[in-house]
Structure 1
């Protein structure tokens, strides 16, 4: 014959404070990990020199280009 078990006895784990503590501790560890990864990313980012446009070039370097006209002759600016 089948033994009847109550729903409380049939649960694998109990509810309440232990489950809440595990969830809070996991959330805390995720937040700490997020800040650790952010600090590592911030400390290893390249200097701003490589991210800025080439504004240090002189105007003569910026305008040294060859323009081809529709007739096929080349002129320098």
Structure 2
């Protein structure tokens, strides 16, 4: 799933070398922390959060078919 998130985000940003995804997993949830350059935050979030919502939807769908865990995607600037 990390690779999928990176594949979606890297073409959207001006600094693809700064894109990094970290994963933290508990027995009930999986948290993906997406790190992007401070200048690229607006591009990843999108107007009214539409891009971020789309990334979350794809992430949730991928995990839901594999595991029965709650999924969280956090977008963090560096």
Q: Which TM-score band (shorter chain)?
A: under 0.3
Which has the higher relative contact order, 1 or 2, with Cα contacts under 8 A spaced 6 or more apart? Answer: 2
> Scaled by the length of structure 1, what TM-score is found?
0.26
* Structure with more strand by fraction: 2
TM-score (norm 2): 0.26
Larger radius of gyration: 1
